[in-house]
Every structure is written in C-alpha cells, then in structure tokens.
Amino acid sequence: MESSIASVTSRYIEDMKLPDLRFGQSPLAAPMWAVLLKRIPLDWDYSPVVYNQSGQWRFGITCPAQLAYMENIILVTGGAGFIGSNFILQWIEREGTSVINLDKLTYAGNLRNLLRVSSDPRYRFTQGDVCDGELVRGLLKHHQPRAIVHFAAESHVDRSIRGPDDFIRTNVHGTFSVLEEARGYFEGLGDQDRQSFRFLQVSTDEVYGSLGPNDSPFCETTAYAPNSPYSASKAGADHLVRAYHHTYGLPTLTTNCSNNYGPYQFPEKLIPLMILNARAGKPLPVYGDGLNVRDWLFVEDHCEAVRRVLAKGRAGETYNIGGWSEKRNIEIVETICSILDELCAHDPVVPHRKLITLVKDRPGHDRRYAIDARKIEREFAWKPRESFESGIRMTIQWYLQNEEWVKEVSSGSYRKWIATQYS
C-alpha cells in the first residue's frame, strides 16, 4: 500500500514536469510552491497526499486532471485485445504520449500482449467494463484525455451466433455508455479543449452486409445491411455514434475496417486457428465451399490508419480502411500450408494441405467483403505498408516464435470453445 501511493504520487509529479515537490514539509508546502512557481493555475483541484518513501513519511500533491491534458493522454477501450494491443504498442512507440487502457479482460483480452509497455510510465491499465458508466466517468474526470479510441467489443461472429447476449450488451450498451460519458465530459470542457476532443469508433466492414461477385467494394456511403448478431450489434453502435454527433455535436469519427491479421490475434479467428491446427496436425476446418471472400489487412496498417484518422479526421465523418487484398478463404489456408511446409518441414502432417477439411457452413455466412479505401488514401495519403504476402509470412513467423503466448491462450476456455464449435 505504502509503495503504491508513493509510486502513484511520484508518477504524477514526474509527469507534471514540475520541480520535485515530494519533499514539502507540510501538506500545503507543495501546492504553495507550485502556485508560486506559476506552474499550476490556482483553480486546479489539488489533492494533498501523504506517503512513505524509503521509510520516511512525506507530503505531496496530485493534480491528475490537469496533468493529463498537458500530457496529451488518450483513453483506449479494449486495449488488451488483438487490435487494441497492437494499437497501444504502436501509439507509444510512434506518438510517444500516454495511454489509459480500459479493458474488462474477457477471454479475448490478454495483458501479456502489452508486456513491452507494462512498466512504461506512459501506459496505465484499468480493468473494467465499458458498460460501467460510473467507472468511465471517473476515468475521464481523472485523466482528462483528449480522445477516446473505442475498440472494446465482442468480436467473433461464430460466438455471436451461439450466444448473442454479450454482443448486444458490450457492443450496443457498452458503446452507448461510453458515448454518454463522453458527451458529459465533452460538454464540461473549455472551448479550446472541445475543439480538439475526438471520440473514435472502431467499426467493421461487416456492417455493410455481403457483396455479390461483381459488386463494387463497400464505400462510406454504402447502406448498412448487417447479417449476423455481431455485425448487427456493431451497426447499432455505429448508429448511436452517428446520432451523438448529429444531436449533441459530439466530435465523433468512425472507421470501418476489413479483416485484420497479425501478431496477438486470438486463435479462434481463421488465420491463427489454421496456423496452430496445421502445426499440431489437426484438421483445418474450412466452412462451406471455402470460396467466401475477405479483404485482408495487416493489423499494424490498420493501427496506422486509425492514428491518421484520429489526427486528421473531420468530426462526424466515416473512413473505410482496407488493404485491396481480397482472397478466398481456401487460398488463405493453402498459402498458410505452403509457408508452413517450408518453415516447419518436420511437423506431424506434411504437406500441411492434407489437413484441409471442408465442414458445415457458418449460418448466414456473408459471401464477400471488400473495402474501397480511396477516401482515406486520398485525404490522408494512407497506404498499407504490408502486402498480404509479406504480412502473412511475418504473422506465421510471429506465431512460431511466440510459443509461450500460444500455450497460454490455447488453454482452458479456449479448448472448450474449439470442442463446442467444431464437434
């Protein structure tokens, strides 16, 4: 307890870039110094604290709200998931400013993804539910972020078919709760801060429904036509985001991205599932005829695009993100098998393609997704850095090199899911 107070206090003081105020002789000394030095305006909400450092009792102050604004903090929800954790790692590396990560740590959330930044003072984690408005309100008040990047969601279509409740709760109600708190927070900001505040909704191409073989790719004006409980819950959330902009003037941005792949993806999704099954000599379950098409994007390219939209996007606008990389599922699985034949020639079953098994189709399975990404390319000069060929090789190599991560996520509830889904 003692050390945690000391470390919180010292973190705030260091972050403030103030002279070290921890050595004040009374609870008033530190705020007095700060005001005298004109480093903190008088109307700030000081909290004197007493803490123990190396056996000595000391006094200090915290004023996290103001500090946060100066420091340019963002609040990320769902940052322990696949895309959220890649986003935070990239944010800290490239933007260099602080991030608060709010994540419930469902089966899909994994703090191991964030080991690289776990002791970095710019990274802070709070375990909690986006449906908990009071918690979100407290975080906004305490940290005063300049933006919210909302990744938190239930994200797996097959799970939404077996049990839609959590999807409605987190994706619809959770987004509503974060929007409500964002609105209250936004309305309390000063003029200048309101100008720069943004709420960014991370959405998906699935809200647009399914394309025929000759249809043009989805653009930002394509009508929503969701077909699964997952995509319907994301569509509901997106509509709420739109309404909060239109009705309350909340400066929102929405991104609709195509299928992501890369490091830290939970192996319930096509690409990591196929890599792990192929290595273990287990069947590679391809739904239906294997000819459904997805448009694949390396996760770091998605994260880069989200950063670009956050920096430059116009409030109220939607931006589609995709890699112009449409592939049939069977092609994806065959590509993975060929790369594994080369890299893992001693696996139990080689060639790995012998494991490909066509299985019962996903109910309501969308036939084709494809994204028209011209708007983000034109407006922000964004382009994916990775081709599918380079990205898939890097991804396979990552799974081969991170056996501990794989072992940890493949235990317990994961095994139960695989047994139920593929029985």
| Residues carrying an active site annotation | 205-206, 230
Interatomic CA distance for residues 375 and 321, integer angstroms? 9
Give yes or no for residue 83 binding ligand NAD (CB under 6 A). yes
Query: Which residue number, 154 or 386, has a Cβ lying nearer to ligand NAD?
Result: 154
Two tokens, residue 30: 């530190």
Two tokens, residue 123: 């990274």
Q: How far, rounded to the nearest angstrom, does the alpha carbon of residue 30 sit from its chain's CA centroid?
A: 38
DSSP state of 360: P
Interatomic CA distance for residues 74 and 76, integer angstroms? 6
> Which one of ligand NAD, ligand DAU, none interacts with residue 287, CB within 5 to 8 A by kind?
ligand DAU
Give yes or no for residue 369 binding ligand DAU (CB under 6 A). yes
Give yes or no for residue 106 binding ligand NAD (CB under 6 A). yes
Binding mask 266-305 for ligand NAD (x = CB under 6 A): x---------------------------------------
> Which one of ligand NAD, ligand DAU, none interacts with residue 103, CB within 5 to 8 A by kind?
ligand NAD
Sheet holding 259-261, edge to edge: 259-261, 293-298, 326-328
> Which one of ligand DAU, ligand NAD, none interacts with residue 146, CB within 5 to 8 A by kind?
none
Interatomic CA distance for residues 181 and 141, integer angstroms? 10
Element (H, E) at 269: none
Q: Find where tokens 């047994």 sit.
A: 419
Any residues with CB less than 8 A from the CB of 373 and at least 6 apart, and which?
320, 321, 322, 323, 324, 382
Q: Find where tokens 């209250």 sit.
A: 184
Interatomic CA distance for residues 224 and 209, integer angstroms? 7
In the list 68, 140, 152, 332, the residue contacting ligand NAD (rule: CB under 6 A) is 152
| Residue numbers 321-360 binding ligand DAU by CB under 6 A | 329
- SS3 assignment, position 275: helix
Interatomic CA distance for residues 275 and 265, integer angstroms? 11
In the list 86, 252, 258, 335, the residue contacting ligand DAU (rule: CB under 6 A) is 258
| Residue numbers 119-148 binding ligand NAD by CB under 6 A | 129-131
Two tokens, residue 104: 């419930």
Residue nearest to ligand NAD (CB): 81
In the list 16, 63, 103, 406, the residue contacting ligand NAD (rule: CB under 6 A) is 103
Interatomic CA distance for residues 345 and 244, integer angstroms? 54
Query: Which residue number, 78 or 384, has a Cβ lying nearer to ligand NAD?
Result: 78
Query: Which residue number, 156 or 307, has a Cβ lying nearer to ligand DAU?
Result: 156
Does the CA dihedral 78-181-123-242 come out positive or negative? positive
Interatomic CA distance for residues 303 and 307, integer angstroms? 6
Residue nearest to ligand DAU (CB): 204
Give yes or no for residue 211 binding ligand NAD (CB under 6 A). no
Give yes or no for residue 254 binding ligand NAD (CB under 6 A). no
Give yes or no for residue 287 binding ligand DAU (CB under 6 A). yes
> Which one of ligand DAU, ligand NAD, none interacts with residue 83, CB within 5 to 8 A by kind?
ligand NAD
The minimum distance between CB 415 and ligand NAD, in angstroms, equals: 18
In the list 109, 229, 251, 323, the residue contacting ligand NAD (rule: CB under 6 A) is 109
The minimum distance between CB 171 and ligand NAD, in angstroms, equals: 7
Residue 319 has phi, psi (to 5 degrees) of: -130, 125
Interatomic CA distance for residues 40 and 29, integer angstroms? 14
Does the CA dihedral 19-21-23-24 come out positive or negative? positive
Interatomic CA distance for residues 67 and 63, integer angstroms? 6
Give yes or no for residue 157 binding ligand DAU (CB under 6 A). yes
Binding mask 189-208 for ligand NAD (x = CB under 6 A): -------------x-x----
DSSP state of 228: S
Give yes or no for residue 168 binding ligand NAD (CB under 6 A). no
* Binding stretches for ligand NAD (CB under 6 A): 77-78, 80-84, 103-106, 108-109, 129-131, 151-155, 170, 174, 202, 204, 234, 257, 259-260, 266
* Binding stretches for ligand DAU (CB under 6 A): 155-157, 204-206, 258-259, 269-270, 273, 285-287, 292, 294, 329, 362, 369
